[in-house]
């Protein structure tokens, strides 16, 4: 087994996050004790400054630094708003990231991969003052960016085997949307209003197919209508659309009124009633979900979706919620009370109302801000409280949910005015100096600074990012089957792929199985052991099979210093320090091939490698 060479800490092994498991539904008539037990995760105080605390622990082991500064150049409206707030409150920021920090960061954030040694060297040597903007634009239009963010949307919609073969079709469709920067509101309306003879031929309908609630285990008298629980599927879709497109979690009011339940959780939802959720789900009441059934067997993940149902039954039975109690189900948008126009298809109306409402743009802007900046302006992304967004009118006893309301509104407004372009939204963020701050902070860091975004927050790489970073560093691609083809990158297939050691490695580092919403990666000692012992790392650092180590020792036969520099640049995106280089050169002098292998292994066991900073 390769031995650790470097004197710096190999790996921050125990970054643990608390996770909440979903609770089963209960009847509405709850005792206070039952309610407290079921809603305990919601009633816990929000975790504050977690991103700042993690960064404070990890940042000393990553490069960068310089003196904290009050004044940083303001490059766009993001900077104008953030740095003006910092300056007003006397909050010093971290300095700007070095070119080495920046190139690794933006490659990981936009493509899920790390840059090659040549890409790092060329970027650092470039004297063009606009080189960072140019790199951002290049990456935003790259195929790697398409693949990374298509995979993100597949995780967001939990696209898995419940779609059957439609999973690959939906993945292809999402990639096409991203390639041409299709207006996001247009794609969302397609998803909400989609109908199909088969979700295996109409891509957008697969989100609906994915959310179906299984009904009877087999059809009655050859009819398959009861194979899907129609009403529960309406409800699941209404909850999904609320979370994903509006950033609002309607789950609780899908079972009971907010009053008497949500006063300690969400002021806005505490004022909403279950009948209002019925009306929201009522837009879907005509939708019919039919599972294909042939030769006595259900056809895996294949559905017909049309609008031949009679409407939402507010007294219909449920398999997963408390009994429905009746009432008016005439469709009405929960945020405004708006009803469909005369002759307008209800699902078409719902898509129009959701995407036209300001909350759609806010929620989308917040979602991407969280992914690129490490923590959302509202956290979690699907727990907006509309009664606490405006700091000027916060209910008594509550704090404003938004510390930067003007910034969120500016991001959302620009998103709307520019045709709901995801590419532009991400560009606004990554081209700001706020995004380009260093994770290192030389002044005294205070927890309250987190909400100012006074430094770049580190994050642990997702399982797919880590795998692909290893691929990039070692030059040894993976082997994933996708549509009958072999793929080398983990984010190229439509879903979690791989077998054996690779599958175990990915699952240990938190790869989503898409049964539940994705969660941020959680550190564990087992991850540290795998980085040291797994064949996913150890086999790839060997000087064989055209690995990076093999190519370097063969190419630079008399130049150990160049081998060391190239390994650092291609793995950590920086040159070695004098101390690191001395240690590495001594290892190569002792045994050139084994020393290079050990060095590469050690670099991938640094916190620098495991975290994006």
Which pLDDT score is estimated for 222?
A: 60
- pLDDT above 90: percentage of residues in the chain: 76
Which pLDDT score is estimated for 69?
A: 60
Dump pLDDT digits (tens) for 56-106. Answer: 888 887 777 656 665 789 999 999 999 999 999 999 999 999 999 999 999
Residue 127 within a domain = no
The reply to whether 385 and 265 lie within a common domain is no
The reply to whether 268 and 385 lie within a common domain is no
Which pLDDT score is estimated for 248?
A: 97
User: Which residue, 352, 378, 353, 347, is CA-closest to 364?
Assistant: 378
β-pairing, 459-460 vs 480-482, is unpaired
The reply to whether 186 and 311 lie within a common domain is yes
Q: What span, in angstroms and rounded, lies between the C-alpha atoms of 29 and 9?
A: 54
Please say if the pLDDT value at position 472 is more than 80: yes
Neighbours of 74 (CB within 10 A): 17
The reply to whether 350 and 415 lie within a common domain is no
Rounded to the nearest 5 percent, the helix, strand and coil shares of the chain are 50, 5, 45
Residue 202 within a domain = yes
The reply to whether 299 and 411 lie within a common domain is no
Q: What span, in angstroms and rounded, lies between the C-alpha atoms of 205 and 233?
A: 14
Please say if the pLDDT value at position 180 is more than 50: yes
The reply to whether 224 and 292 lie within a common domain is yes
Which pLDDT score is estimated for 46?
A: 45
Please say if the pLDDT value at position 415 is more than 90: yes
Which pLDDT score is estimated for 399?
A: 93
Count of residues in the chain: 613
Which pLDDT score is estimated for 57?
A: 84
Residue 398 within a domain = yes
Confidence category of residue 14, pLDDT binned at 50, 70, 90: very low
Please measure the distance between the N-terminal and C-terminal CA atoms of the chain and give it in whole angstroms.
Answer: 29
C-alpha angle 605/607/613, rounded to 5°?
140
Mark which of 390, 420, 450 sits at the end of a domain: 420
Weakest mean pLDDT among 18-27, 462-471, 591-600: 18-27
Range among 6-10, 183-187, 225-229, 438-442 rated most confident: 183-187
Q: Mean pLDDT, to the nearest integer, of 311-337?
A: 93
Confidence category of residue 380, pLDDT binned at 50, 70, 90: very high
Confidence category of residue 22, pLDDT binned at 50, 70, 90: very low
C-alpha angle 480/482/486, rounded to 5°?
50
The reply to whether 285 and 368 lie within a common domain is no
Which pLDDT score is estimated for 62?
A: 79
Instruction: Provide the residue range defining the domain that includes 305.
Output: 182-356
Confidence category of residue 25, pLDDT binned at 50, 70, 90: very low
- Bridge partners (DSSP) of residue 290 are 304
Which pLDDT score is estimated for 358?
A: 98
Dump pLDDT digits (tens) for 385-408. Answer: 999 999 999 999 899 999 999 999
Which pLDDT score is estimated for 243?
A: 97
Please say if the pLDDT value at position 15 is more than 50: no
Residue 503 within a domain = no
User: Which positions ≥6 away from 396 have C-beta within 8 Å?
Assistant: none
The reply to whether 273 and 236 lie within a common domain is yes
The reply to whether 328 and 233 lie within a common domain is yes
Mean pLDDT of the chain: 89
The reply to whether 256 and 228 lie within a common domain is yes
Mark which of 300, 321, 356 sits at the end of a domain: 356
β-pairing, 459-460 vs 297-306, is unpaired
Confidence category of residue 225, pLDDT binned at 50, 70, 90: confident
Residue 505 within a domain = no
Residue 403 within a domain = yes
User: Which positions ≥6 away from 88 have C-beta within 8 Å?
Assistant: none
Question: Using CB atoms within 10 A of its CB, is residue 327 exposed (0-12), middle (13-18) or buried (19+)?
Answer: middle
Confidence category of residue 205, pLDDT binned at 50, 70, 90: very high
Which pLDDT score is estimated for 45?
A: 43
Residue 553 within a domain = no
Which pLDDT score is estimated for 43?
A: 43
Domain count for the chain, please give it.
2
Mark which of 420, 435, 459 sits at the end of a domain: 420
pTM for the whole structure: 0.91
- Bridge partners (DSSP) of residue 485 are 482
Confidence category of residue 216, pLDDT binned at 50, 70, 90: confident
Q: Mean pLDDT, to the nearest integer, of 119-124?
A: 98
Confidence category of residue 481, pLDDT binned at 50, 70, 90: confident
133 φ, ψ (degrees, to nearest 5):
-65, -40
Residue 225 within a domain = yes
User: Which residue, 185, 193, 139, is CA-closest to 365?
Assistant: 185
Residue 487 token pair? 């793929």
The reply to whether 308 and 392 lie within a common domain is no
User: Which positions ≥6 away from 217 have C-beta within 8 Å?
Assistant: none
For residues 154 and 112, the answer to whether their CB atoms sit within 8 Å is no
Dump pLDDT digits (tens) for 266-304. Answer: 999 999 999 999 999 999 999 999 998 777 677 778 999
The reply to whether 248 and 264 lie within a common domain is yes
Which pLDDT score is estimated for 53?
A: 81
Which pLDDT score is estimated for 84?
A: 95
């Amino acid at each position: 087994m390769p031995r650790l060479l470097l004197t710096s800490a190999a790996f921050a092994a125990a970054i643990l996050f608390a996770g909440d498991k979903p609770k089963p539904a209960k009847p509405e008539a709850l005792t206070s004790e039952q309610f407290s037990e079921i809603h305990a995760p919601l009633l816990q105080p929000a975790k504050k400054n977690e991103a700042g605390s993690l960064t404070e622990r990890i940042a000393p082991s990553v490069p960068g630094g310089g003196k904290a500064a009050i004044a940083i150049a303001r490059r766009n409206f993001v900077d104008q708003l953030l740095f003006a707030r910092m300056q007003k409150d006397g909050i010093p920021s971290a300095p700007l990231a070095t070119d080495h920090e920046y190139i690794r960061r933006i490659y990981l954030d936009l493509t899920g991969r790390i840059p090659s040694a040549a890409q790092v060297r060329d970027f650092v040597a470039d004297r063009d003052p606009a080189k960072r903007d140019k790199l951002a634009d290049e990456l935003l239009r790259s195929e790697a960016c398409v693949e990374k963010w298509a995979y993100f949307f597949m995780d967001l919609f939990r696209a898995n085997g419940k779609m059957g073969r439609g999973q690959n079709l939906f993945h292809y469709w999402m990639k096409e949307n991203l390639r041409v920067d299709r207006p996001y509101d247009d794609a969302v309306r397609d998803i909400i209003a989609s109908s199909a003879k088969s979700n295996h031929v109409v891509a957008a309908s697969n989100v609906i197919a994915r959310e179906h609630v299984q009904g009877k285990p087999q059809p009655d008298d050859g009819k398959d209508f009861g194979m899907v629980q129609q009403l529960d599927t309406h409800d699941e879709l209404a909850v999904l659309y609320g979370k994903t497109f509006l950033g609002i979690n309607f789950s609780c009011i899908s079972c009971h009124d907010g009053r008497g339940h949500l006063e300690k959780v969400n002021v806005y939802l505490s004022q909403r009633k279950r009948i209002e959720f019925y009306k929201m789900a009522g837009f879907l009441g005509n939708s019919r979900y039919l599972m294909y059934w042939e030769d006595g067997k259900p056809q895996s993940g294949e559905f017909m979706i049309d609008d031949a149902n009679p409407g939402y039954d507010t007294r219909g039975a449920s398999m997963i919620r408390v009994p429905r109690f009746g009432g008016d189900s005439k469709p009405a948008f929960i945020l405004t009370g708006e009803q469909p126009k005369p002759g307008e298809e209800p699902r078409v109306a719902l898509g129009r109302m959701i995407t036209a409402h300001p909350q759609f743009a806010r929620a989308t802007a917040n979602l991407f801000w969280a992914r690129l900046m490490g923590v959302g302006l509202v956290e979690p992304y699907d727990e907006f409280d509309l009664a606490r967004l405006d700091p000027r009118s916060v209910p008594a006893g509550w704090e404003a949910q938004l510390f930067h309301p003007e910034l969120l509104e500016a991001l959302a407004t620009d998103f709307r005015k520019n045709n709901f372009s995801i590419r532009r939204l991400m560009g606004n963020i990554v081209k700001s100096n706020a995004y380009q701050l260093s994770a290192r902070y030389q002044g005294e860091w205070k927890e309250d600074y987190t909400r100012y975004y006074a430094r770049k927050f580190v994050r642990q790489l997702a399982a797919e990012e880590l795998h692909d970073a290893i691929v990039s560093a070692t030059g040894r691609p993976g082997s994933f089957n996708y549509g009958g083809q072999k793929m080398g990158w983990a984010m190229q297939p439509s879903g979690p792929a791989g077998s054996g050691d690779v599958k175990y490695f990915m699952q240990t580092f938190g790869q989503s199985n898409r049964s539940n919403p994705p969660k941020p990666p959680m550190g564990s000692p087992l991850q540290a052991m795998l980085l040291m012992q797994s064949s996913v790392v150890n086999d790839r650092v060997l000087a064989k099979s055209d690995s990076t180590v093999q190519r370097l020792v063969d190419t630079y036969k008399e130049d150990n210093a160049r081998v060391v520099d190239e390994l650092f640049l291609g793995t950590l995106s920086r040159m070695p320090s004098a101390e690191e280089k001395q240690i590495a050169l001594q290892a190569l002098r002792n045994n050139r091939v084994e020393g290079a292998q050990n060095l590469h292994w050690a670099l991938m066991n640094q916190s620098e490698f495991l975290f994006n900073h």
